[in-house]
Amino acid sequence: MTDRAVLASPNIWNWPDIYERENEAIDADGAVWAALAAQVDWCGADVIDIGCGDGFHLPQFARRARSVVGVEPHPPLVVRARRRVCDLPAVQVRAGCAQQLPIPDCSVDLAHARIAYFFGPGCEPGLAEAHRVLRPGGNFVIIDLDGSQPPYGQWLCAAAPRYRPAAVEAFFAAQGFDCRRVDTVWRFRDRRELEDVLRIEFPPKVAARAIAQTASLTIPVRYRLHIRRAPFLRGMQPYRRCGDLIPRADPGRERSLGQWTLR
């Protein structure tokens, strides 16, 4: 793993304690988890969380999964994540990155990545790795912020002017992902917490604007769930959406869907 393979994440790298408050405030009503559970059942499954940070989401997966592996490239976060899950025997945290996952081929049923590495064009090596480690019929779910939805999306685009939400969405669609939008509420305990979080997410000018535009202790934030299911068997068409059974491809005919080429 080279440093170039790792995307700097100043928010959680530099301010892990504030990021912990952020993770607690995010999705205060559990809408992202509910949307994820509506698409994918990880009960008894083997799960990988790619770019797990300090492991905030690992215990939630562990409540239902058979095993959970968190993969994280930033060494101090690996230490924090291991500390978080030390009482959970079914959970391991491995140092590694999305482009070179430290687990065998066909070894997980669900690959999950939340606001980590998979931000559109350029993440193809990680997509290929997720494909390698997924069992046939397994699901890959990438969760990111919907930059097209105000107010948060406007702040996001102001902070990263080259970021194009529609282009990112088109990229994942072309890779065979379906997209679900999830409206959430970030809910903070007090004003100080809200302002601290906005200051670690955005450069000073954008943070000041976000703070000025937020009168209450809540911020509506829309997420996207990009979901792709690995084909069950060679010769069988992949599921386009969870629950949609699609008949076998005709033998001898090649068809393509996103990155899959089916024979």
Ligand X SMILES: C[S@@+](CC[C@H](N)C(=O)[O-])C[C@H]1O[C@@H](n2cnc3c(N)ncnc32)[C@H](O)[C@@H]1O
Report d(CA 7, CA 182) in Å as an integer. Answer: 25
Interaction of residue 155 with ligand X, rule CB under 6 A: no
Q: Which is nearer to ligand X, 24 or 195 (CB)?
A: 24
From candidates 61, 117, 155, 202, binder to ligand X by CB under 6 A: 117
Cis geometry, peptide bond prior to residue 247 (ω within 30 degrees of 0)? no
Q: Which stretch binds ligand X (CB under 6 A): 68-76, 154-162, 168-176, 186-194?
A: 68-76
Q: Which stretch binds ligand X (CB under 6 A): 95-103, 128-136, 191-199, 251-259?
A: 95-103
Q: What residues numbered 206-235 form the site for ligand X, per CB under 6 A?
A: none
From candidates 25, 93, 108, 115, binder to ligand X by CB under 6 A: 115
Q: Which stretch binds ligand X (CB under 6 A): 36-44, 49-57, 214-222, 249-257?
A: 49-57
In whole angstroms, how close is the CB of 237 to ligand X at the nearest point? 30
Interaction of residue 72 with ligand X, rule CB under 6 A: yes
In whole angstroms, how close is the CB of 223 to ligand X at the nearest point? 11
Q: Which is nearer to ligand X, 6 or 158 (CB)?
A: 6
Cβ contacts of 38 within 8 Å, gap of 6 or more: none
Report d(CA 160, CA 158) in Å as an integer. Answer: 6
Q: Which stretch binds ligand X (CB under 6 A): 33-41, 82-90, 94-102, 199-207?
A: 94-102
Interaction of residue 114 with ligand X, rule CB under 6 A: yes
Query: Total binding residues for ligand X by CB under 6 A?
Result: 24
The total of other beta-carbon atoms located within 10 Å of residue 251's CB is: 7
From candidates 45, 47, 50, 227, binder to ligand X by CB under 6 A: 50
Q: Which stretch binds ligand X (CB under 6 A): 71-79, 144-152, 216-224, 248-256?
A: 71-79
Interaction of residue 23 with ligand X, rule CB under 6 A: yes
From candidates 25, 36, 46, 53, binder to ligand X by CB under 6 A: 53
Q: How far is CA 91 from the centre of its chain?
A: 18
Q: Give the binding site for ligand X (CB under 6 A).
A: 5-7, 9, 11-12, 23, 50-53, 56-57, 72-74, 77, 97-99, 114-117
